[in-house]
Amino acid sequence: MLKISISGIRGMVPDSLTPEVCLNFAKAFGTYMQGETIVVGTDTRSSSEFIKGIVLQGLLSSGCKVIDLGVATTPTVGIVVRELQAQGGLVVTASHNPEPWNGLKFIRKDGIFLNSQQTKKLLEIYENKTFEEAPGGSAKTYNKASEIHINKILKAIDPKKIRKAKFKVVIDSCNGAGSVITPLLLKELGCIVIELNTNTKKLFPRGAEPTPENLTELAAIVKKEGADIGFAQDPDADRLAIVTETGVPVSEEYTLALSVKYILQTTSSSRRIVVTNLSTTSAIDHIAREFGAVVIRTKIGEVHVAEEIKAKKALIGGEGNGGVIYPKVGFNRDSLSGIALILMYLANQKNKISELVGAIPEYVLIKKKITCDSSREALDFLENSKLKFQKDSLDLTEGVKVIRKIGWLHLRASNTEPIIRIFAECKDKKTAEEFIQEALES
């Protein structure tokens, strides 16, 4: 099954993400971008180089001037698009999906993913096969992408403070696109770096998502080496998770919370705006209140958060899946920016990471999904939920979010398949489970 959403396209290689699909999407994107300059990067999947060759063929046939970064993180591609004033970017990646999944992500000239209206136009070109055939296409390699990304980060923080601390850091890049650039950044920051899973020639050694259950090896090495912190990335390095110095992996929700707290604690700006999505932890609201900041919540999807950050000139934003968006660096979820901000927080506070995590309000977030027979059934479920919870405070920005003193419940239809996603966050697991059960009762 080919999944198409505002996060791009994903599918199994070669079953649903076929060479023909990749070629036609590249032709559609080249046509949509009117044959202008396109930056291309890939993650390290076994199929990525093959797919890139097909993508280049499609872009060149549309007259595009392609700048090939080779292996590059998704946020790196977004940053280079802006720095080189390209018309757009294309990343060959399936993000946190395992092999044999792969996919394509489409970036516009401001470094942000295509939004729903722009994706609709791209899909119309793809489905109708109204591809432009144009001469003049060209391709060249570019080897300064990592340097640009790292320098953007160094200019956005105070690297001297981190260098002075001489942190010992274990980095687990899942043998993905962050495997080379992330150790380079850490060394620039004066860290003692212990590399784990940073071989781009090897397969993913663990579950691709940087969730606690996938970080047992990282946790053991952090504790064994007496490291100050462990960081884990997903294959395209847009998500970041943390392991404390005690060898405890913490929820990805803490990545954004810690980054937000550092920024709000150290900024002198009177314009204190934080942007995140509807399903991100309430710890963000708690931290914002502490520092007199405003939290704006958007629909689910990185592009919604990024566009709002840009429009409102927010200080920081992101998603609770470990995705930090720091506009001083770029408008994509960026694990490298997250690493830099959290190390700045550690250097400023002179506390251990376990203590900084312990100071964040603790919530229990449970995620479930139910399968529906059709998209129509999913929409009916949401309409019935509105009636069921009509006496509660509701946020209908996307789906149905029920807000109570005990916590919140968010019900929404998937963008790619007939399922309902159900998130509940409360102060304890039992209450969150009961909240979900209430939603499921007819």
Confidence of residue 270 (pLDDT cuts 50, 70, 90): confident
- Which residue type is seen at 10? R
Please check whether residues 141 and 7 belong to one and the same domain: yes
Please check whether residues 125 and 76 belong to one and the same domain: yes
CATH of the domain at 30: 3.40.120.10
CATH of the domain at 427: 3.30.310.50
In a domain, 153, yes or no: no
216: alpha, beta or left, given left = phi > 0 and alpha = psi -120 to 50?
A: alpha
If one counts the domains in the chain, the total is: 4
Identify the domain containing residue 226 by its residue range.
166-243
Please check whether residues 23 and 108 belong to one and the same domain: yes
Please check whether residues 353 and 368 belong to one and the same domain: no
How much is the pLDDT for 75? 98
- Note the pLDDT tens digit of each residue in 373-402: 888 898 999 999 999 999 999 999 999 999
pTM score: 0.96
State the virtual CA torsion across 45, 49, 51, 54 in degrees, nearest 10.
Answer: 180
In a domain, 66, yes or no: yes
In a domain, 248, yes or no: no
Token pair recorded at residue 240: 């970041």
- Beta-bridged to residue 102, according to DSSP, are 11
How much is the pLDDT for 23? 98
Token pair 């807000």 is found at 403
Mean pLDDT, residues 359-369 taken together: 94
Please check whether residues 315 and 378 belong to one and the same domain: no
Neighbours of 389 (CB within 10 A): 19
Please check whether residues 322 and 425 belong to one and the same domain: no
In a domain, 408, yes or no: yes
Please check whether residues 402 and 268 belong to one and the same domain: no
Mean pLDDT, residues 50-67 taken together: 98
Percent of the chain's residues with pLDDT above 90:
94
- Note the pLDDT tens digit of each residue in 170-203: 999 999 999 999 999 999 999 999 999 999 999 9
Token pair recorded at residue 284: 């963000």
- Beta-bridged to residue 139, according to DSSP, are 66
How much is the pLDDT for 376? 87
How much is the pLDDT for 415? 72
8 A C-beta contact, residue 306 and residue 331: yes
In a domain, 338, yes or no: yes
Q: Which of 5, 8, 45 is nearest to 25 (CA)?
A: 8
How much is the pLDDT for 417? 75
8 A C-beta contact, residue 276 and residue 317: yes
Please check whether residues 11 and 119 belong to one and the same domain: yes
Is 95 designated active site? yes
**Residue 302 scores a pLDDT above 70:** yes
Distance from the Cα of residue 343 to its chain's centroid = 19
Q: Which of 93, 74, 123 is nearest to 324 (CA)?
A: 74
How much is the pLDDT for 439? 95
Which residue among 7, 47, 62, 95 is the active-site one?
A: 95
8 A C-beta contact, residue 135 and residue 40: no
Distance from the Cα of residue 71 to its chain's centroid = 17
How much is the pLDDT for 442? 65
